Amino acid sequence: MKTLSSITTIIIASFFMTSFNTIESSNLLDKKLNAAAAYNTDEDSETANDFFRRYSDLKKYKSDVMSLYKTRTLGTIWYDENEINEFGSVLYEKAKKSNDLVIPYQKEIDQLFDSSSESNLSKTDADMLLSSLYVVYAKKNNPDTKKLSYDALLKDFLNYSTIEQSTATASTDAKVQYDQYYKLQNVLSKYKKLDRSHKWKPIVAETPYKELRPDAVSSTIAQVRNRLYLLGDLKEDSKSDVYDRELMDAVMKYKVRNGFKPNYILAEEHIKEMNVPLSEKMETLQLNMERCRAIAAQIATNDEYVLVNVPSYEMVYVKNGKVQMTSPVFVGAPLTKTTIFNGEIDRIVFSPYWTVPQSIVQNELKSKIASDPNYLAEKNMEMVNGQVRQKPGPDNSLGLVKFMFPNPDDIYMHDTPSKTLFDFEKRTFSHGCINVKMAKELAVAMLQDYPEWTQEKIDKAMAGKTENSFKLSKKVPIYICYFTSLVNENGEVGFFQDVYERDQESVGQNAVVAQ
C-alpha cells in the first residue's frame, strides 16, 4: 500500500491525548472517581487524607492535586486502562530533563516507568503521584500559576504552554518551525470554506451496495464524482454516472493519499469514508495541527532521523533535510500496540538471533518440543541458557537486520520474511515492534557515512550464521508517531485510520489551535 510521499515534512507529536478510560474500582478513591459525575474532592476526604498522610512531602500540594480531579469525569488522568498513557510518559520525560527540578518520591515514580521493576503501588496512588509531579513541574515552569485544574492541565498539554515550555525556543503563539502545521492549517481553511458553501451532501448509495468498478453505471458514481471534484481530486465535474477513465484517475489519487489499497474498486468502506462529516475532518486537522507543535523544536535540530507514522504504516529516513527513502511497515496489533515515543538508534544488528518470548514457548512450543525431539533443529532453533532462540537466516522472524534504540518496552525495528503482509491495507500484525519492508535498504542508507561498510560487507553480514552488531558512532533519532492527517508537498491532504482509537478522546476535548 502506498501512502503519502511527503511524510518527510511531517512534524508529528511524540505524544498526544489518548483515550481516558474508566478505571476499575479497585479501592475507595477509584470507586469515587467512577461513581461520581465529577470527582468532588473534599479537603477532609478520608481517602485524600490517607494518601497525603502516607506521602507527607506532598501535603503542601494537596489542594492543587485534588483540584485536578474536580471536573474529571472519566477516571484517572495518567492511565489508559492499566497502563500509563503517553500523557504520563511525556510528563515523566520532561520532568526528568528539567534542570534543578526536585521530584518528590522519585524512586516510586521511577519504578512506574521501569519495566524491570515491580512496583507495589496501587493505580490510585500512582495516578496521584503523577498528578503531584505535574503540579511540581507546572509551578516550576510557571511560578505565577495560582490555580490548577484538569481543564488547565488539558489546555497545557494541547498548547504546550507548560509541558513544552522548557524545551521550546519560542512561545506557544510563535511560528511553528516546520511547515506541516501551516499546510494543515491551509487545508483547514479550505474545508471551512467548503462547509460554508453547503455543497457537501451525503452520498446516498444504492442498496444493497455492490462494489463499483470501471465502466459501471450508477447514480452513486455521479455522487462520488461530485465529491472528488469538491475535494480536488477531479478538475471538473461532468456529472456523468459512468465510471470512466477520468474518474478512475481521481479514485486512484483519492485512495493513495488516504492510505487505501491502490486499485479502482469502490467498496462500501470507501463511500463511508467519503461521507465522514466535514466537521469531523476539521476536528482531525485541528488535532494534528496541535501534534505538529509538540516536536517542532526537537526535529528542527535533526539533520538525520527516522520517522515512523503508525496510522499510515510508513517509515521515512531523512538525512541532510532530504528524504533518502520511504518504506511500508506493519506495526503492533490492538492488543500489543506499538508505543508512541522518541528514541535514538544506536546499533544495527545483522543476522540477528530471535529470542522467543516465554509466552510463546509456554503456549505454543513446549508441547511440540516434548513430542518431537527434532522440532528445534527443524525450525533452526536452539536452547541457550534455558531460552529458545531462532538462529540467523532468511527465515528468521527478525529477517536479516534489526535496528536497536533503547526503550523500556523493548521495541525495535527489523526486517521480516513475511513480505506478503505488506500487501494488506491495515497492517497491525506485530507484538509491538516495527517490521520494515525495505529494512536492507535502510541499513545501506544509514551506513553511507561509514566507508568500511561496503555493499559487499553488508551483504556478507546479512548472510552470516552468527549475529553481527555494529554500534553507530552517531546515534540517529527516531520518532514513532501517531499522525492521522498530513499534507503532501502538492497540498493534498491524507486522512488515515485511527487504528488505536487515540483520536477519539482528543477530538472530543475540543483541541484548541491557532486559527
Q: Is residue 61 situated within a structural domain?
A: yes
Q: Which of 20, 73, 104, 6 is nearest to 504 (CA)?
A: 20
- Residue 61 has a pLDDT of 87
Q: Round to whole Å and give the CA distance between 335 and 177.
A: 35
Q: Can the peptide bond before residue 202 be classed as cis, meaning omega within 30 degrees of 0?
A: no
pLDDT digits (tens, 9 = 90+) for 474-506: 999 999 999 999 887 678 999 999 999 988 766
Does residue 376 sit in the same domain as residue 327?
no
Q: Is residue 164 situated within a structural domain?
A: no
Does residue 345 sit in the same domain as residue 428?
yes
Does residue 345 sit in the same domain as residue 361?
no
Does residue 134 sit in the same domain as residue 222?
no
Q: Is residue 362 situated within a structural domain?
A: yes
Does residue 257 sit in the same domain as residue 367?
no
Query: Whole domain around residue 120: which residue ranges?
Result: 42-154
Is the pLDDT score of 10 beyond 70?
no
| Model confidence band, residue 100 (pLDDT cutoffs 50, 70, 90) | confident
Backbone CA torsion sign across 207, 208, 209, 214:
negative
Q: What is the DSSP letter of 217?
A: B
pLDDT digits (tens, 9 = 90+) for 16-71: 333 333 223 333 344 333 433 333 444 436 777 888 999 999 998 888 888 887 75
pLDDT digits (tens, 9 = 90+) for 433-471: 999 999 999 999 999 999 999 999 999 999 999 999 999
Q: What is the average pLDDT across 377-382?
A: 92
CB-based contacts of 339, cutoff 8 Å, min separation 6: 407, 409, 411, 432, 480
Q: For residue 292, indicate whether it is catalytic.
A: no
Q: Round to whole Å and give the CA distance between 2 and 26.
A: 46
pLDDT digits (tens, 9 = 90+) for 239-277: 999 999 999 999 999 999 999 999 999 999 999 999 999
Mean pLDDT lowest among 220-229, 342-351, 498-507: 498-507
Q: Confirm whether pTM is higher than 0.75.
A: no
- Residue 152 has a pLDDT of 62
More confident residue, 100 or 24: 100
Q: Which of 194, 166, 201 is nearest to 90 (CA)?
A: 166
Q: What mean pLDDT value characterizes the chain?
A: 81
Q: Is residue 288 situated within a structural domain?
A: no
Instruction: Check if the beta carbon of residue 183 is closer than 8 Å to that of residue 4.
Output: no
Q: For residue 431, indicate whether it is catalytic.
A: no
State how many domains the chain has: 4
Does residue 375 sit in the same domain as residue 236?
no
Instruction: Check if the beta carbon of residue 199 is closer than 8 Å to that of residue 230.
Output: yes
Does residue 52 sit in the same domain as residue 68?
yes
β-partners of residue 402 are 349, 414
Q: Round to whole Å and give the CA distance between 445 and 269.
A: 37
Q: Round to whole Å and give the CA distance between 348 and 404.
A: 6
More confident residue, 1 or 87: 87
| Model confidence band, residue 115 (pLDDT cutoffs 50, 70, 90) | low
pLDDT digits (tens, 9 = 90+) for 117-166: 777 888 888 888 998 998 888 888 776 666 666 656 655 554 433 333 33
Backbone CA torsion sign across 143, 145, 149, 152:
negative
CB-based contacts of 265, cutoff 8 Å, min separation 6: 211, 212, 213
Q: Round to whole Å and give the CA distance between 361 and 23.
A: 32
Identify the active-site residue in 198, 414, 431, 481.
414
Q: Round to whole Å and give the CA distance between 95 and 111.
A: 15
CA distances from 12 to 315, 471, 480 (A): 13, 27, 9
Q: Round to whole Å and give the CA distance between 109 and 127.
A: 10
Is the pLDDT score of 293 beyond 70?
yes
